[in-house]
A and B are shown apart, each in its own frame.
Chain A
Amino acid sequence: MKKRIDSSLVIGYVILGLFVLFVLIGLFYEPYDGNYMNLSDKLATPSFKHFFGCDQYGRDIYVRVQYGLRNSLIIGLSSTFFGGMAGVIIGAVCGYFGGVVDAVIMRIVDVLFAIPSIILALLFVSLFNSNMFNVILALSLAMIPSFTKMIRSEFHVIRKSDYVLASRMYGSSHLRIIFREILPNVYPIIINCMFIAFNNSILAEAGLSYLGVGLQPPAASLGNMISQAQGYLATAPHYIIIVGVIMIVLLIGLGLVSEGGSWHSAYNRRFKN
C-alpha cells in the first residue's frame, strides 16, 4: 500500500497553525490597546491604521479578535483537557471493571446525555457566575459524558482480548493494564474525540457568549463580538464579515483535523453502543 498524505488533514493543521501564530504574535505585539475606546474611530472601516476596522466603541477589531481567539483557545483547550481527562478516567474504570459501579455511572451518563451540553453549560454558568473559570468548568462537565461513553465501550471490548489476559497472567496490576496495555490502543480514538470536543467547546463558548452568558464584556470573545456586530449588520457589515469569516475558518480548520478521513469510523463507533 502506498502511503498517501491526507491533504485535508494538512490543510487543517496549516489553518490551526496560522491561528496559533496569530494569537502568539498578539502576545508580543499589539498595535493598540484592545480595550481603548476611541470614539472618533467608531465603526471605522478597514484601513492601514486599523487592519480590520473598529467596533462601535472605536476599539480596534484586529486586537479584539486576537483577544477573542486567545480566550477561545484557552477555554477550548482547558475544557477539552479537563473534561477529556475526567471522561477518559471514568470511562476506563467503568469499561475495565464493569459491575455495579459501571451500571450506576452509565445511568448517570445517560441522564446527562439527555440534557444538551449547551443547555447544561447555560444552566451552570447562569446559576453561578459568568467568568472564564466557570465557563471552562461548565464546558468540561458537559463533555464528560460523551468521552466516558466512547472510552468505556472501547475498554469493554479490549479488556476481553487475549493480550490483556496474557498480561494478567504475568501478574500485571489492574492499573498497569489500564495505562500500559489498553490505553495506548485507544489513544487514536482519544485524540480524535479530543479534536471533536475541542471543536464543540469552541462552538459552545461562542454560543454562550453570543447569548450573553459566556465571557462578560469588556472581555472579548468571538461570540460576543458577533452578537454586537449583528446590531450593525446594515451600517457596518465589515465588522460581522471579519469576525464571521475568522470564526468559520477556525472551525473549518478544526473540522478538517478532527475528521481527516476517520469521520465515518468515529461516528460508527459512537453508534455501536
Chain B
Amino acid sequence: MVKYIIKKLIILIVTVLAVSFVIFMLFSIIPSDPAVNKLGINATEESLAALRLKYGLEGPALVRYFRYIGGVCTLDFGKSYTYGMKVSQLIGERIFINIVLSLMSLIIVTVVSIPVGMLLAHVDKTKWENFIEINNQVVMSMPPFLLGIILTFIFGIIFKFFSPGRYIAYNKDFWGFMGYMICPALALSLPKCAMCIRLLRSSILEEKKKDYVKVALAKGNSNGRALYKHILVNAIMPTITFISMILADMIAQGIVVEQVFALPGLGRCLLNAISTRDYPVIEGIILIIATSIVVIGTLNDIIHAVIDPRIREDL
C-alpha cells in the first residue's frame, strides 16, 4: 500500500515536471519578445536588455526553465509583465474563488447524485425511467455557461435573489460571498449531477446482475442490505473515477462560468493575461490548474487502491 502510494507520488511529480516543461517551452518558442512588446519597437537595445534581465529572460531556454522550476518549488512563479507584481501574489488573491467554486460543485455532485442514483436503481420503475431519462438528457446537454445565464435570469432577474454582475469579496462578507457562489456552483455541477446519477444507477444495475449479489441474498440479506453492504462498494468505483474526471472538468469550465457571473477569479486573470500577453501569469495559472488535475487523478488512484485489494497488488 505504502509502496503503491509512493509510486503514484513519483509519477505525479514527474508528470507535473513534464507539464511545466511543455508549458514553459511553448512560451519560449513563440516568436514574440515580451520586452519589445512592452517597450515598443523603437526602444534602445540597452533598455531592452535591462528589461530582459529584470524579467529573467536572458540565457538559453533550458537554463531559464531550471531557474523557473527552482522558483516554482518555493512558490515563486516570476513577475507579471503588466502588473509588475509577483505572479504568486496575483494568483493567491484569486485562487480562493476557484477553490470554493470547485469544492462547492464537488459537494453538490456527491450529495445529490449518490443518494438519487441509489434510489433510482432501487426503485427501477419503467414509468419513471423515461421521465428521468428525458430530464437527465436535457440537463446533461446544458453547457455550464448557458445554464449559468439561465440561473442568472431566473434567480437574479425574476426572483431577485442576487443582483447579476455584483460580487461580494470573501474577506468583506464571507457568507454573502458564499451566497454569490451558489449559482455558479449550481451551473457547474447540475449537468455533472445528471451524468453521475446515470452512471451510478447503471453501474448499480450492472452489479446487481452479478453472482455475488445472488449469494448475498442467499445468505439471508434483505434487498436493501445487499444494496448498501455489497453492491454499492462495487458500483461506486467507476463513479469515483467519474467524479474525479468531473472535478477536473469543473475546474476548467469554472473559467468560463466565472465570466458569466463576473467573478474575479483565476479565469478572468487568465483571460486578461492572454490579451496582454503576460506570459508568467499565463504559465503560472495553467501550471496550477494542471497540477491540481494531476493531483486529483492521483487521489483517485489512491482511493481505488484503498477500496479494491486487486489494484493494490498489481504494481
Residue ranges of A at the interface with B (Cβ–Cβ < 8 Å): 8, 107-108, 110-112, 114-119, 122-123, 126-127, 203, 206-207, 210-213, 226, 230, 233-234, 237, 240, 244, 247-248, 251-252, 254-256, 263-264, 267-268, 271
Query: Are A256 and B238 in contact, with the CB atoms below 8 A?
Result: no
Query: Are A271 and B275 in contact, with the CB atoms below 8 A?
Result: no
Interface hub of A108, A240, A264 (most chain B Cβ within 10 A): A264
Please give, as numbers and ranges, the residues of chain B lying within 8 Å of A8 by CB-CB distance: 133, 137
Query: Are A213 and B274 in contact, with the CB atoms below 8 A?
Result: yes
Contact residue among B145, B198, B253, B274 (Cβ-Cβ distance under 8 Å from A226): B145
Query: Are B15 and A110 in contact, with the CB atoms below 8 A?
Result: yes
Q: Is B88 an interface residue (CB 8 A)?
A: no
Please give, as numbers and ranges, the residues of chain B lying within 8 Å of A248 by CB-CB distance: 138, 141-142, 146
In the assembled complex, the CB of A209 is this many whole angstroms from the nearest CB of chain B, namely 10
In the assembled complex, the CB of A222 is this many whole angstroms from the nearest CB of chain B, namely 9
**Interface residue count on the B side (C-beta < 8 Å):** 52
Q: Is the interface of B mostly helix, strand, loop or mixed?
A: helix
Query: Are A118 and B157 in contact, with the CB atoms below 8 A?
Result: no
Q: Is B271 an interface residue (CB 8 A)?
A: yes
Contact residue among A107, A211, A247, A264 (Cβ-Cβ distance under 8 Å from B271): A211
Please give, as numbers and ranges, the residues of chain A lying within 8 Å of B274 by CB-CB distance: 122-123, 126, 213
When A and B form their complex, which 10 residue pairs have the shortest distance between CB atoms, in order from nearest?
A116-B252, A251-B141, A126-B274, A114-B290, A252-B141, A111-B18, A264-B202, A255-B141, A114-B294, A207-B256
Please give, as numbers and ranges, the residues of chain B lying within 8 Å of A127 by CB-CB distance: 26, 30
Given A114-B290, A116-B251, A207–B143 Cβ distance below 8 Å? yes
Residue ranges of B at the interface with A (Cβ–Cβ < 8 Å): 15-16, 18-19, 22-23, 26, 30, 133, 137-138, 140-143, 145-146, 149-150, 152-153, 157, 164, 198-199, 202-203, 206, 238, 241-242, 248-249, 251-253, 255-256, 259-260, 270-271, 274-275, 282, 286, 289-291, 293-294, 297
Please give, as numbers and ranges, the residues of chain B lying within 8 Å of A212 by CB-CB distance: 271
Query: Are B157 and A252 in contact, with the CB atoms below 8 A?
Result: no
Given A114-B293, A116-B251, A210-B145, A256–B137 Cβ distance below 8 Å? yes
Query: Are B150 and A119 in contact, with the CB atoms below 8 A?
Result: no
How many inter-chain contacts with C-beta < 8 Å in the A-B complex?
A: 117
Contact residue among B15, B30, B140 (Cβ-Cβ distance under 8 Å from A114): B15
Of chain A, the residue at the smallest CB distance from B237 is A271
Please give, as numbers and ranges, the residues of chain A lying within 8 Å of B255 by CB-CB distance: 118-119, 122, 211
Please give, as numbers and ranges, the residues of chain A lying within 8 Å of B15 by CB-CB distance: 110-111, 114
Please give, as numbers and ranges, the residues of chain A lying within 8 Å of B206 by CB-CB distance: 264
Additional A-B contacts beyond A123-B286, A240-B153 (18; CB < 8 A): A108-B18, A110-B18, A114-B294, A116-B248, A116-B251, A116-B252, A116-B293, A122-B274, A127-B30, A203-B143, A211-B255, A211-B259, A230-B260, A240-B149, A247-B143, A248-B138, A256-B137, A263-B198
A268 and B245 CA atoms in complex are apart in Å by: 13
Of chain A, the residue at the smallest CB distance from B133 is A8
Please give, as numbers and ranges, the residues of chain B lying within 8 Å of A108 by CB-CB distance: 18
Of chain A, the residue at the smallest CB distance from B295 is A114
Interface hub of A117, A213, A267 (most chain B Cβ within 10 A): A267
A115 and B248 CA atoms in complex are apart in Å by: 9
Of chain B, the residue at the smallest CB distance from A244 is B146
